[in-house]
Each structure stands twice: as structure tokens, then as C-alpha cells.
């Protein structure tokens, strides 16, 4: 063998080669392990089917229940079933934890909110230990503007309900009907999940199958302002069988067959019912607090029963069956029956959820806690001056005296470090080391209700960047919220993606909060008050008199009565306490003089700068005052609100500040150092009554609306009375008296026409009033203080007063306001 072929073993080289080979093998194994683990994840064993409720239709920003059927054909596993929800650059999730034994099939309902731009929803299965979902499924959704009149129908069949889509809403041409089918067993068990629905129609089905939770959800739906229509006909008994007493407008007494239906003609826009009978109709007696709206030979055909802010309608005929499936007047019938309850508040955004609007406006109030205050200028200015002096003249003078100017490169950085450490320590002391959960809530209660609808927000302040697990009680619904400081810089750290695990309790994890910042979550619930706030109040001669009783389990701190831009502060009402009321509506702010009601109530207390409590109360009050949330309207039909309902015509509201947090989130685990703080505004509508004798309506009391105008536009003021921009040429205005006043014997009628700010001459206008007796318009010269001679002539039998006004002050002044006032007697002749 030649020398070139001789092989000489090199131990060191072999060891290095072996080490390199082993290293490469380990690296390859590490790279393959995730793929191997993923390959072993039994994703192929999981199948998902996704079915959104309401056929996937939902209003912008509202809750949509989504049923997901998940089936496991392989080995047992567990994980999280979730639906992504993107907000402000973050992808968060609504989900539930699911345990899946081998061969199991479960149906899970996940409640998610839907954004304006959503077209599809995705459900994901994330097994325990996996970083990415292994199975996904999508479903189409139809996000619609909030102005749509969304109606869900639960019916056993028939095409009569198809005519609902032909309903019209007067001048509100953008308000159209969307009809979605719903199965009785899929009816949500929470009122929040019904908030996307304006009206629910039930006919021909057996409601005894409803669970107690579904019954309560239906009741809450109506109390919150929803409309419930119950069909009669041959299945009338089954429709009423499972409904609580509060949802039953009638007591059934049998069945009757009708050969013809002449009574429906006027309700159908004059269209005769030309469909051949007979028509099976239920015979019933109306509940004491219900109103028979339509009869035929003393047989009630339509009965209406108000409940809270909504109403229940009962029809003796089944609206899904004949004649409604073939009668040309069916659309008009629905419009007449529902009336102006269906109109959309004219100053509410057509494409924004009221729950979103309220919660977004809470951000400033939520962050009004001492820990988030900006440092005082009295502290910062001396501190900055001290730093400038320290690194500048003082350092120079000391080093020059020591003849060590070359040390400046060391002393200046050292002084900067020491100053920074000291400033951080000072900031830590000012901001504190405690974790703070601040909860602000607005609770809205209907008259005589022992529950309140709560819109709230909780913010977690963290003294250090940290991830938490937040627990929300099961009775509340938690929603994803972005509460970065609207007045400050953006967060110093990105929020980690979070999952809201719905259950009892609902868990939010990981709830990551940057240091010295706050992260928020939206909250909604129905709050049990432990009793109601009842009243016995009447209105006479510009005064509300009577009593208010607090039958709840909590003290009503600093209560106030509000009506027509006026308020009366009361003493704290303890549980079980009754207080006498004498609310003089003539002593406070003139309706024509404007002014901010919230500032009058909270800003003028004590003068000077507002303290923190005043700021929080003022801000929360303005959230309610600036949004058209539902309050009880007294007497008149639900005309479109041209102002905040806090100042709405014919409404009396009690607000108070109970020292109770309706829904209190906590941390898991709770180390006992978390500070729980909060503020709650409770608002309750109080009904009014009239007693026999002299009645004088206060300013802004009689409900009115601009029915039409030539050019110009409606002026959206906070006065609650008809108003127009000064560029209109002519307009027709209609006032509607409360039901109890329709028979008033007038002594005087005045029409006050003025501008929306003081120190301005009244506008120059000409007026015509409609005379129902002659069915003609008559020119009227308004006397001193707007007095109308022979006012009784212009008061219709239905309690309406109609006026045509021609503007001779075009583009002069501000908004023109039109207010009708009456003085007369009830139950007596003048």
C-alpha cells in the first residue's frame, strides 16, 4: 500500500465529528418535535358545525348567540372552543372550555358581538397544549344598521307574517323591516341576547315548553322596550300556556267563528277583507291594565298591555293564518296596531349600538381614579427646575471649585440616573402599588320594576406590567372593550390577546395590563333591586305632588327628580322610606333659556372646581342624558323623541347614586390587595296621574312632533318640544295629549313660539290651526303670551292639536321652538 493510501486514525477529529453529528441530530429532532406533536393532535377526529341565531342577522355591535355542534370521533380531549373578535388591532376571543370524551357530541352556545364590517364568523377548536387551532369552521352573518326594525317570528306555519316586511314608518324611509325566523326551543335565555330584536311574534306554538330562564328573558325583553305580539286563533291557549301572568294581556274564554271581518277595514287602510271565511277567533277578556284597541260586535280583536318600556299585543285571530296571508291591508293592519311605538328616535345614530355608545362614553369616567391622575404642575415644575440646576450650574460650580471639570462626563450621567431613580420612586409612591378595579355603571329601571338594566364598564389599573385572570359573575355579560386613555398617550405595551371564557363565572385570561395603565371590559346585566321604587304622584298647576317610596334593599343616595329640563334635589332615601314630594316646575330654568342640566345639578354645588365625585357624577349623568336610552313616557303614544328622554315630554325621572356595584369583577387568585371602587347611577321612570279639578300643563309637557316641513330641517335640541332650524319655509306640527287629558274642558290654550336662546325677539311667523268640526284650517292671531281664542275648537276628540306655521324670519336667529300649553278642568265642566 502506497503512502497516499495509508489511513491514520485521528481521535480528536473523530470526537469533533461525533459531537457535530449529535448536535445536528438534536437540532433536527427539536425542529421535528412540534410537527410530530401537531401530526399527533387528533384534529381529524374533531368536526364542527356552526349555526348563528336569527339566521345570522344582527344589528351592528349587538350580541349574536352562535350554536356550535362539536363532535369527537377519536380519543378523549379537552380545549377551548372560541370565536375571534378583532378590536383596535387586537384579536380577542369569546369562547368556552369544553371537555370531549371519546365519541362525544356537544352543542355549545357562544355569545359574540358583531362589528359593522363583519361578513363571516369563524369558530376555532384549540386543544389544550396547542398554540394554534386545529379545526376551523365559518358561517355567514348579515350585520345590519341599527335603524332596521328587526322582527323575529316563532310560528307553526302560515304565510300571514310575510306581510310584516311591507310595513312603512312614515318619513323614516331608512327604517325597513327585517323578518327572521326563530324556533321556540332556540329562544335565548337572556334579555341581552334579544336586544337586536325590536319585535317578537309568537303564534301557533306551545309556550309551555319554555324554561323559566326563557320566560324571564321574554319579560325583561318587554320591560326594556321590546314589543311582543301573541297570536290567537285555534291555538290561542297553547300560545299563552307557558307565559308568566305579566305577559298575558287577556284571559281566554273560548272560541268563536267569524264569517266576515268588517272591523279590519279601517285598520287596513280602507281595504276590505275579501278573503272567504270562516275565521277562527279566540274569545277573551282583557286584563285590568290592558286596553281593547279593536272590537267587532263586542268581541275584542286587538288588546294592548303596556309593561315597563314595552308592550304586549294580543290578536284574537292568528296573524300567521287567513285572512292575513291574502288580505291587501295586512301591512296597514300592523302599522295601525303598533303605531308610533315602532318609530326610531330621530336623534339616535342609525348605525351604532346603544350599548356600545354608552360604554364608549364611559371611558373618561372610568379612568377618573387617583392612580391615573397626571402629576401636579406644582410638583413637576420645581422638580424639572431642580434637575436643570443640578446637571447645569451646580455641577459646573462644584467641579470648578474642586478643579475637576474633567469629571463632568461621570457626574452628569450619575446625576441623571439618580434623578431618574428618585422620580420613578416618587411616581411609584404617587401612583401606589395597589391593584385597582374601578367599575362605573348606569342602571335603568322601568316604573314599578324590581329590576334594572345595567350598562357598565370595569377597568383594572396595574402598578406593573402583568397578566391577570379576571372573574365576572355569571349574571353579567362581559364584552371586549378598548379603554386606552382618550386624552393621553397610547399604551406603552401591546395588550396580549385575551379570551373571554363564558361560564359561571366568566373568566378573562390572560388579562394583560401595562404598568400604570388601565384595561377595561364592558359589562351588561339585569340587576335585582330587591324591591321597586314606587310612587303616587299627580300633576296640577305646575306642580308634581305626592309620594315616592324606596322599597329596594339599598339606600338611594342624593336622589333628584327630573322633568322637562327641571330638577328637584331630595334627601337620601333609606330602604323602606317614603318621602313627600312637592316639585314646583315653575321655579326652575325656563325652557327657552337653554343651559346644561347636568352642570346645573352637579357643577354648581359649592362653586369653584369640581371635586372628583362631582366630575364622575356629571360625566355619568351626561352619558345618560346624551343618549336616547329608554325611559317611561307618560300618557301620549310613543312619538319620535326629538330630545334626550331624560328631558322627554311627559316624563318624570328619579335618579340616585346607590353605594352598590351591580356587577363586581374580581381577580383569581385574589391576594387581598385589590382595591374595589365604583360609581352607580340609577335612573327610574315614575308614572304620573291627573286628579279631577283644574289642570295646567307645564312647559314642554305635551308631546309634539314636526310632521312635515317645506325645506329646512328639524332642530335637535335638548328641550323635548318640536323645533325647526330657521331655514324652513313652512311646517305642520301635531301635538298629542296624554290619554287622561283627552277629555279636558279647556279654559285656555297657549302656543309659545320662541328661539332656543334668551335675549332674542320672538320669530315672525303666521299660524293656522286645524278645526276638526269643519275639517278646515283657520288662520289664527296669537294673543298676548301666545293665547289662542276659543282654543277648545281646535282640540280634536282624539286629543290632538294640529298647527301649520309659515316662517317669515327665514335664516334669522337660532332654532325655533313650539310649545303647546293647556289650562282646564278634568271631570268637570267649566
Rounded to whole angstroms, how far apart are CA atoms 794 and 777?
Answer: 10
Q: Which three cell numbers stand for residue 575?
A: 330602604
Q: Which residues contact 229 (CB under 8 A, 6 or more apart)?
A: 199, 200, 201, 202, 203, 312, 313, 314, 315, 319
Q: Strand (E) positions, 446-598?
A: 451-462, 466-472, 476-480, 499-501, 506-513, 517-528, 533-540, 543-550, 560-563, 566-569, 578-584
The yes-or-no verdict on residue 189 having pLDDT over 80 is yes
Average pLDDT of span 627-652: 38
Output the pLDDT for position 240: 98
Dihedrals φ, ψ of 154, to 5°?
-115, 110
Note the pLDDT of residue 36: 33
Number of C-beta neighbours around residue 193 at 10 A: 21
Grid coordinates of 736: 298629542
Output the average pLDDT for the chain. 83
Q: What percent of the chain lies above the pLDDT cut of 70?
A: 83
- 634 or 251, which is more confident: 251
CATH class for the domain made up of 148-342: alpha beta
pLDDT of residue 379: 63
pLDDT above 50 (res 134):
yes
Which positions ≥6 away from 207 have C-beta within 8 Å? 184, 238, 239, 240, 241, 242, 243
- Answer whether 564's CB lies under 8 Å from 649's CB: yes
Overall fold of domain 693-826: Jelly Rolls (2.60.120)
Long-range contacts of 767-775 (CB under 8 A, 24+ apart): 767/803, 767/804, 767/805, 767/806, 768/803, 768/804, 768/805, 769/794, 769/801, 769/802, 769/803, 769/804, 770/794, 770/796, 770/801, 770/802, 770/803, 770/804, 772/796, 772/797
pLDDT greater at residue 698 or residue 606: 698
pLDDT at position 715 is: 75
Q: What is the pLDDT of residue 32?
A: 44
CA-based nearest residue to 641, from 708, 719, 561, 750: 719
Residue 738 to residues 111, 338, 688, 744, 800, Cα–Cα distance (Å): 41, 17, 11, 10, 9
Element (H, E) at 55: none
pLDDT of residue 192: 96
DSSP at 762: P
pLDDT at 520 over 90: yes
CB 771 within 8 A of CB 778: yes
> CA angle at residue 771 from 768 to 777, to 5 degrees?
35
Domain segments of the chain: what residues?
43-143, 148-342, 353-373+433-492+510-689, 379-429, 693-826
d(CA 614, CA 327): 59
pLDDT of 311 > 50? The answer is yes
Residues near 598 by beta carbon (within 8 Å), at least 6 away in sequence? 618, 621, 622, 625
Secondary structure, 3-state, 165-201:
HHCCCCCCCCCCEEEEECCHHHCCCCHHHHCCCCEEE
Task: Determine the pLDDT at residue 780.
Answer: 93
Interval 571-582 mean pLDDT: 96
pLDDT of residue 15: 52
> pLDDT tens, 48-73?
999 999 999 999 999 999 999 999 99
In a 3-state reduction of DSSP, which class is residue 348?
Answer: coil
The pLDDT-based confidence of 11 (bands split at 50, 70, 90) is: low
| pLDDT digit string, tens, across residues 741-760 | 878 889 899 998 888 765 56
Sequence-ordered list of residues with C-beta below 8 angstroms from that of 241, at least 6 positions apart, any chain: 206, 207, 208
Q: How confident is the model at residue 406 (pLDDT cuts 50, 70, 90)?
A: confident
Average pLDDT over residues 808-819: 86
Q: Which of 265-274, 637-646, 750-759 has the highest mean pLDDT?
A: 265-274
Q: Are 316 and 297 in contact (CB under 8 A)?
A: no
- 458-482: per-residue pLDDT in tens? 999 988 889 999 999 988 999 988 5
User: Quick one: which of 50, 74, 64 has its CA closest to 127?
Assistant: 74
The mean per-residue pLDDT over the stretch 556-581 comes to 92
End-to-end CA distance of the chain: 142
More confident residue, 476 or 624: 476
CA distance 810 to 730: 10
Euclidean distance between CA atoms 830 and 824, whole angstroms:
7
Mean pLDDT of 505-516: 92
Sequential DSSP letters for 689-746: B--SEEEEPPTT-SEEEEEEEESS-B---SS-S-EE-TT-SEEEEEEE--GGGTT-EE
14 vs 25: CA distance, rounded Å: 16
According to the model, what pLDDT value does residue 65 have? 98
Least confident of 79-93, 221-235, 286-300, 691-705: 691-705
DSSP structure string for 763-804: P-EEEEEEETTTTEEEEE---GGGEETTGGGG--TTSEEEEE
- The CATH number of 43-143 is which of 2.60.40.10, 1.10.357.10, 3.90.1170.50, 3.40.190.10? 2.60.40.10
* Residue 16, φ and ψ in degrees, nearest 5: -65, -40
Residue 319 CA, distance from chain mean position: 30
The C-alpha atoms of residue 391 and residue 388 are separated, in whole angstroms, by 6
CA separation for the pair 413, 420 (Å, rounded): 10
User: What's phi and psi for 12, nearest 5 deg?
Assistant: -65, -40
Share of the chain above pLDDT 90, in %: 50
DSSP 579: E
Which of the four pLDDT bands, split at 50, 70 and 90, describes residue 608? low
Q: How far, in Å, CA of 208 to CA of 241, rounded?
A: 5
Kind of pairing between the strands at 105-113 and 63-72: antiparallel
In 3-state terms, what secondary structure has residue 659?
coil
Query: Is pLDDT above 80 for 603?
Result: no
Q: What is the pLDDT of residues 330-386, one digit of tens each?
A: 998 998 899 878 878 766 778 888 888 888 889 888 988 765 555 555 666 677 777
Residue 754's pLDDT is what?
85
Angle, to 10 degrees, between the axis of helix 377-389 and the axis of helix 408-431?
A: 170
Amino acid at each position: 500500500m502506497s503512502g497516499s493510501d495509508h489511513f491514520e486514525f485521528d481521535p480528536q477529529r473523530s470526537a469533533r465529528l461525533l459531537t457535530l453529528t449529535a448536535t445536528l441530530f438534536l437540532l433536527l429532532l427539536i425542529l421535528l418535535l412540534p410537527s410530530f406533536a401537531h401530526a399527533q393532535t387528533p384534529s381529524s377526529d374533531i368536526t364542527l358545525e356552526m349555526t348563528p341565531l336569527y339566521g345570522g342577522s344582527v344589528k351592528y355591535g349587538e350580541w349574536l348567540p352562535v350554536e356550535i355542534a362539536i363532535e369527537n370521533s377519536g380519543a378523549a380531549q379537552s380545549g377551548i372552543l372560541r370565536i375571534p373578535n378583532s378590536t383596535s388591532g387586537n384579536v380577542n376571543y369569546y369562547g368556552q372550555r369544553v371537555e370531549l370524551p371519546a365519541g362525544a357530541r356537544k352543542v355549545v352556545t357562544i355569545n359574540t358581538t358583531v362589528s359593522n364590517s363583519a361578513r363571516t364568523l369563524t369558530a376555532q377548536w384549540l386543544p389544550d397544549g396547542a398554540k394554534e387551532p386545529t379545526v376551523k369552521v365559518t358561517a355567514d352573518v348579515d350585520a345590519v344598521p341599527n335603524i332596521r326594525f328587526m322582527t323575529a317570528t316563532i310560528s307553526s306555519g302560515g304565510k300571514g307574517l310575510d306581510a310584516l316586511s311591507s310595513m312603512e314608518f312614515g318619513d323614516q324611509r331608512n327604517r325597513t323591516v327585517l323578518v327572521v325566523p326563530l324556533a321556540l326551543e332556540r329562544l335565548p335565555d337572556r334579555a341581552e341576547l334579544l336586544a337586536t330584536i325590536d319585535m317578537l311574534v309568537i303564534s301557533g306554538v306551545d309556550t309551555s315548553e319554555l324554561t323559566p330562564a326563557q320566560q324571564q328573558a321574554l319579560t325583561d325583553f318587554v320591560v326594556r322596550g321590546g314589543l311582543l305580539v301573541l297570536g290567537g286563533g285555534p291555538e290561542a291557549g297553547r300560545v299563552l300556556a307557558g307565559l308568566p301572568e305579566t305577559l298575558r294581556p287577556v284571559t281566554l274564554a273560548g272560541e268563536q267563528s267569524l264569517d266576515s271581518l268588517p272591523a279590519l277595514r279601517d285598520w287596513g287602510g280602507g281595504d276590505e277583507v275579501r278573503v272567504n271565511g270562516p275565521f277562527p277567533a279566540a274569545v277573551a277578556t282583557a286584563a285590568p291594565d290592558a286596553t281593547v284597541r279593536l272590537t267587532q260586535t263586542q268581541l275584542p280583536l286587538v288588546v294592548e298591555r303596556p309593561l315597563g318600556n314595552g308592550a304586549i299585543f294580543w290578536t284574537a285571530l292568528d296573524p300567521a293564518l287567513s285572512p292575513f296571508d291574502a288580505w291587501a291591508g295586512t301591512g296597514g293592519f300592523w302599522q295601525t296596531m303598533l303605531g308610533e311605538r315602532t318609530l326610531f328616535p330621530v336623534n339616535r345614530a342609525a348605525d351604532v349600538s346603544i350599548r356600545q355608545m354608552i360604554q364608549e362614553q364611559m371611558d373618561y369616567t372610568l379612568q377618573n381614579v387617583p392612580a391615573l391622575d397626571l402629576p401636579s404642575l406644582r410638583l413637576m415644575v420645581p422638580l424639572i427646575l431642580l434637575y436643570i440646576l443640578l446637571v447645569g450650574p451646580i455641577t459646573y460650580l462644584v467641579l470648578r471649585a474642586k478643579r475637576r471639570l474633567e469629571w463632568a462626563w461621570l457626574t452628569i450621567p450619575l446625576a441623571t440616573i439618580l434623578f431618574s431613580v428618585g422620580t420613578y420612586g416618587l411616581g411609584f409612591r404617587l401612583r401606589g402599588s395597589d391593584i385597582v378595579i374601578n367599575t362605573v355603571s348606569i342602571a335603568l329601571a322601568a316604573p314599578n320594576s324590581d329590576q334594572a338594566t345595567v350598562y357598565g364598564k370595569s377597568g383594572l389599573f396595574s402598578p406593573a406590567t402583568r397578566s391577570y385572570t379576571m372573574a365576572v359573575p355569571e349574571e353579567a355579560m362581559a364584552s371586549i372593550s378598548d379603554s386606552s386613555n382618550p386624552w393621553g398617550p397610547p399604551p406603552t405595551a401591546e395588550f396580549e390577546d385575551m379570551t373571554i371564557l363564558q361560564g359561571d363565572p366568566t373568566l378573562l385570561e390572560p388579562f394583560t395590563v401595562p404598568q400604570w395603565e388601565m384595561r377595561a371590559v364592558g359589562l351588561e346585566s339585569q340587576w335585582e333591586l330587591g324591591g321597586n321604587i314606587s310612587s303616587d304622584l299627580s300633576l296640577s298647576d305646575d306642580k308634581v305632588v305626592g309620594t315616592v317610596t324606596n322599597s329596594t334593599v339599598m339606600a338611594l343616595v342624593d336622589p333628584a327628580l327630573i322633568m322637562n329640563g327641571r330638577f328637584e334635589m331630595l334627601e337620601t332615601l333609606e330602604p323602606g322610606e317614603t318621602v313627600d314630594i312637592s316639585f314646583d316646575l315653575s321655579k326652575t330654568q325656563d325652557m327657552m333659556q337653554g343651559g346644561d342640566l347636568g352642570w346645573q345639578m352637579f357643577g354648581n354645588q359649592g362653586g369653584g372646581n369640581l371635586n372628583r365625585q362631582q366630575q364622575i357624577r356629571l360625566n355619568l349623568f351626561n352619558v345618560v342624558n346624551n343618549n336616547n336610552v329608554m325611559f317611561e313616557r307618560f300618557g301620549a303614544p310613543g312619538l319620535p323623541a326629538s330630545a334626550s328622554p331624560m328631558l322627554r315630554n311627559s316624563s318624570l325621572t328619579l335618579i340616585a347614586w346607590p353605594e352598590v356595584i351591580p356587577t363586581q369583577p374580581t381577580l383569581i387568585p385574589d391576594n387581598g390587595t385589590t382595591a374595589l371602587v365604583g360609581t352607580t347611577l340609577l335612573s327610574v321612570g315614575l308614572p304620573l296621574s291627573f286628579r279631577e279639578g283644574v289642570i295646567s300643563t307645564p312647559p314642554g309637557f305635551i308631546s309634539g312632533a314636526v310632521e312635515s316641513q317645506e325645506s329646512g330641517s328639524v332642530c335637535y335640541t335638548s328641550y323635548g318640544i318640536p323645533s325647526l332650524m330657521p331655514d324652513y319655509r313652512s311646517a305642520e306640527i301635531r301635538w298629542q295629549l296624554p290619554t287622561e287629558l283627552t277629555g279636558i274642558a279647556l279654559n285656555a290654550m297657549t302656543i309659545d313660539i320662541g328661539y332656543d336662546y334668551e335675549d332674542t325677539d320672538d320669530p315672525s311667523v303666521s299660524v293656522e290651526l286645524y278645526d276638526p268640526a269643519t275639517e278646515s284650517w283657520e288662520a289664527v292671531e296669537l294673543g298676548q303670551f301666545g293665547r289662542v281664542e276659543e282654543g277648545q275648537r281646535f282640540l280634536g276628540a282624539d286629543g290632538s292639536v294640529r298647527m301649520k306655521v309659515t316662517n317669515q324670519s327665514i335664516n334669522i336667529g337660532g332654532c325655533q321652538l313650539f310649545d303647546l300649553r293647556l289650562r282646564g278642568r278634568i271631570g268637570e265642566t267649566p
